[in-house]
């Protein structure tokens, strides 16, 4: 693009007039690659290269309200209107995981990893290494439901394992995904998959640390606009609109509270202080959750296969009961078969059933379905749940891996000084470990029942086939032999009952163990056996439900403990809003980021508190009750303003007001690499048919005349009003400006990549 300057390395590049089917409402650059993810008004996600080559498009089927990238750029988080957060693979858009952390629309997402690189190994000697891969092969895939076509259960036509890449977190740096919804709830999850905390800004007790007397206040009618976790994971900045009231004010006087845009500073230092412990718990818990999904899906597949087989059996054999009734007999099918087995003459209904209704082909078909289903169930167990003597290196025993991973958490749960601080409870972990062991016992028990039942069915079908041959006077030397005693047992116990189904489906039927076995199990408790002896009365499905419940209870403790430790440290009122917008979410251009502190030399080991400076940039809306009009507010050092502010000048809160050039208004803004701020300005025109022109301006933050802001304990004080007499006026001729020959719209997307890269990309919407 033409400029007045001599040729040089451009600070940014532009892409103009690239058509898309629908208006773009969200856009985010990949932090590691030249990839731009965009969300259209019709809620499609598009992934493009910088040269505008489209890689993939997905349509979740629900309204998309937020978007962010994982720090390594390999996955993308998508917030939906119903409160769901879905994680997608950057390579193909495949759904990796879906979490329901919220109940309402997710309006802001931020994914940050531990930004501290520790060069002194002596201070990082407790880093956790997952040992599971040393003893076990890779975890199994989720079995596919019979008859399901690829793509029936996800966004993409890809039936491969959908979560292994996320679960393989041992290769990731410790990271936290933060999500905020429109009702003021903020959720935190490690690696984007293990929930580790939740708070609501309405319930926060907000201190006013500069008040003459200790005081607190609360937000009401609040709505989150933006959340940003610091690079050291110690602070979370929340930009929100709402009504700020002193706790001491009586409810009848609450209307005196001031509604406006506020900035909250939350203490999340527990993530930094206990990152190694949290990494270990999250590693194990997220993998266990994946394995639980394998077991759940396996039980579902097994139940479906066996149910279909039993439906086929009943469909064929129920006609015998109708034939008995039609012939005026009062016997049962079992009695008729027993009479035939005992050598009596074949009764008319049995003869008609065997020769005409069922026939040789019918017996073979039912036998193939039932016995085939039994073998498939055995394969699912062997391939997905437990080894049971097969080639250990070639299979993936999910239930056994769960038991090992729970065992890996038993030791840490006893280390009270380190792990009790994050809520790892020894009793709950021990209970969950025992439940995982009991599940292994139940799997073996189920296999014995299944093997016996399949054998009984096979023997019964062999006998029926021989009977049909005799009735048809055909030679039967080629048929498999049968056992008469097993036929009697089948007719007595299995013909109209299904002992396999209760093991696979939750039911109220209890299994009655023999008293001798029950007594032996109780005696084993004294020698370290399971303290829960009632597992003998439960089925596999019931045991799985109890195991899953014990895991949820065990991992809820860290979630609850961490949630209680995240407190609000400070509040910064930015600007007032008209009372008419009290219940309406404020939509103004805002941006929060953390730049490296250039004023401080970085040693080989830098403490986590002084590596970065927070920059908060926002447009002050025209209808604000503030005296400042058409201005951009920028504040910095908010998260350090509480520490030594009266002693250390550099730690005080600073701010500056930038007046937008006359004839322009700010459409969007974004903080950028190397402490730069990008402003997208539209020309103000009176004629609606004239779209006007636009420009993009880059301002260097370090060059701005920041002014120290005295803090006040009064929540009615709008700090930026103190700067109205020292506003800096932006001039098009003085700043780095690019003219755009038409009007533009949000979003503005900037990508600075890493420090070594000098190029960067900027994208924005436009009117056509």
pLDDT in tens, 556-604: 999 999 999 999 998 888 887 766 554 444 567 888 888 877 665 444 3
Q: Residue 762: is its pLDDT beyond 90?
A: no
| Half-sphere exposure of residue 229: CA atoms within 13 angstroms, side-chain side | 31
Contacts of 89 (CB under 8 A, 6+ apart): 74, 75, 96, 165
Per-residue pLDDT of 18-43, as tens digits, reads 667 778 889 998 888 888 999 999 88
Q: Give the integer Cα–Cα distance in Å for 49 and 751.
A: 13
Q: Give the integer Cα–Cα distance in Å for 469 and 478.
A: 11
Contacts of 143 (CB under 8 A, 6+ apart): 294, 297, 298, 301, 380, 383, 384
For the chain, helix (H) and strand (E) counts, in that order, are: 14, 30
> Whole-structure pTM over 0.75, yes or no?
yes
Q: Residue 110: is its pLDDT beyond 70?
A: yes
Per-residue pLDDT of 131-174, as tens digits, reads 887 777 777 777 776 654 433 333 333 344 444 555 555 557 88
| Half-sphere exposure of residue 196: CA atoms within 13 angstroms, side-chain side | 31
pLDDT of residue 579: 61
Q: Residue 756: is its pLDDT beyond 60?
A: no
Q: Residue 538: is its pLDDT beyond 80?
A: yes
Helix %, strand %, coil % for the chain, to 5? 35, 25, 40
Query: Token pair for residue 645?
Result: 């502010």
pLDDT of residue 626: 57
Beta strand 654-659 with 728-729: parallel, antiparallel or unpaired? parallel
pLDDT of residue 220: 82
Per-residue pLDDT of 645-693, as tens digits, reads 443 444 578 888 998 888 888 888 888 877 888 888 888 876 554 567 8
Beta strand 35-40 with 45-49: parallel, antiparallel or unpaired? antiparallel
Do residues 50 and 91 touch, judged by C-beta distance below 8 A?
A: no
């Amino acid at each position: 693009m033409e400029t007045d300057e001599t040729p040089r390395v451009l600070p940014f590049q532009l892409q103009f007039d690239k058509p898309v089917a629908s208006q773009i409402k969200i856009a985010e650059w990949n932090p590691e690659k030249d990839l731009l993810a965009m969300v259209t008004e019709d809620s499609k996600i598009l992934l493009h290269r910088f040269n505008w080559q489209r890689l993939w498009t997905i349509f979740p089927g629900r309204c998309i309200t937020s978007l962010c990238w994982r720090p390594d750029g390999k996955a993308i988080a998508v917030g939906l209107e119903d409160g769901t957060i879905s994680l997608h693979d950057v390579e193909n858009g495949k759904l990796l995981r879906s979490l329901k952390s919220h109940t309402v629309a997710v309006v802001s997402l931020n994914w940050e990893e531990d930004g501290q690189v520790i060069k002194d190994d002596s201070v990082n000697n407790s880093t956790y290494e997952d040992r599971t891969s040393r003893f076990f092969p890779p975890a199994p895939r989720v079995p596919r439901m019979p008859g399901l076509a690829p793509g029936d259960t996800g966004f993409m036509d890809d039936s491969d394992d959908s979560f292994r890449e996320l679960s393989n977190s041992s290769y990731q740096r410790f990271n936290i995904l933060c999500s905020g919804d429109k009702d003021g709830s903020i959720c935190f999850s490690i690696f984007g998959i293990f929930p580790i905390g939740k708070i609501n800004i309405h319930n926060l007790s907000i201190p006013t640390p500069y008040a003459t007397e200790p005081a607190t206040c609360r937000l009401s009618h609040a709505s989150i606009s933006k959340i940003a976790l610091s690079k050291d994971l110690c602070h979370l900045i929340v930009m929100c609109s709402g009504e700020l009231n002193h706790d001491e004010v009586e409810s009848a006087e609450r209307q005196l509270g001031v509604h406006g845009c506020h900035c909250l500073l939350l203490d999340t230092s527990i993530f930094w202080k206990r990152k190694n412990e949290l990494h270990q718990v999250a590693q194990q818990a997220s993998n266990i959750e994946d394995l639980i999904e394998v077991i759940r899906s396996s039980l579902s597949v097994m139940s479906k296969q066996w149910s279909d087989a039993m439906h086929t059996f009943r469909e064929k054999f129920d006609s015998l009961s109708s034939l008995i009734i039609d012939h005026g007999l009062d016997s049962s099918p079992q009695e008729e078969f027993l009479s035939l087995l005992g050598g009596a003459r074949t009764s008319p209904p049995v003869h008609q059933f065997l020769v005409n209704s069922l026939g040789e082909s019918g017996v073979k078909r039912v036998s193939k379905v039932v016995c085939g289903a039994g073998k498939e169930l055995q394969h699912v167990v062997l391939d997905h749940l437990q080894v049971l003597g097969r080639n250990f290196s070639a299979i993936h025993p999910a239930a056994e891996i769960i038991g090992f991973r729970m065992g890996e958490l038993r030791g840490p749960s006893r280390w009270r000084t380190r792990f009790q601080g994050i809520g790892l409870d020894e009793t709950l972990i021990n209970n969950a470990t025992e439940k995982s062991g009991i599940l292994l016992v139940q799997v073996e028990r189920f296999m014995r029942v299944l093997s016996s039942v399949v054998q009984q069915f096979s023997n019964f079908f062999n006998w029926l086939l021989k009977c049909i041959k005799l009735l048809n006077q055909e030679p039967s030397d080629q048929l498999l032999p049968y056992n008469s005693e097993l036929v009697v047992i089948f007719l007595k116990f299995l013909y109209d009952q299904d002992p396999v189904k209760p093991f696979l489906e939750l039911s109220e039927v209890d299994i009655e163990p023999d008293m001798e076995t029950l007594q032996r199990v109780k005696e084993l408790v004294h020698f370290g056996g399971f303290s829960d002896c009632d597992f003998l009365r439960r089925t596999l499905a019931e045991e799985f439900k109890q195991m899953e419940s014990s895991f949820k209870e065990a991992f809820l403790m860290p979630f609850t403990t961490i949630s209680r430790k995240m407190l609000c440290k400070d509040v910064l009122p930015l600007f007032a809003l008209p009372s008419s917008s009290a219940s309406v979410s404020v939509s103004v251009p805002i941006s929060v980021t953390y730049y490296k502190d250039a004023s401080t030399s970085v040693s080989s080991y830098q403490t986590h508190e002084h590596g970065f400076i927070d920059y908060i940039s926002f447009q002050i809306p025209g209808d604000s009750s503030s005296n400042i009009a058409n201005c951009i507010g920028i504040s910095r050092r908010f998260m350090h303003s509480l520490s030594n502010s009266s002693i250390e000048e550099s730690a005080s809160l600073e701010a500056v007001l930038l007046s937008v050039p006359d004839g322009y208004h700010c459409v969007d803004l974004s903080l950028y690499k190397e402490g730069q701020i990008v402003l997208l300005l539209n020309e103000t025109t009176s004629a609606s048919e004239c779209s006007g022109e636009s420009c993009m301006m880059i301002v260097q933050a370090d060059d701005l005349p920041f002014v120290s802001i005295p803090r006040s304990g009064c929540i009615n004080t709008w700090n930026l009003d103190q700067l109205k007499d020292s506003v800096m006026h932006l001039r098009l001729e003085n700043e780095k400006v690019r003219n755009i020959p038409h009007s533009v719209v949000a979003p503005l997307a900037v990508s600075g990549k890493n420090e070594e890269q000098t190029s960067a990309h900027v994208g924005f919407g436009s009117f056509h």
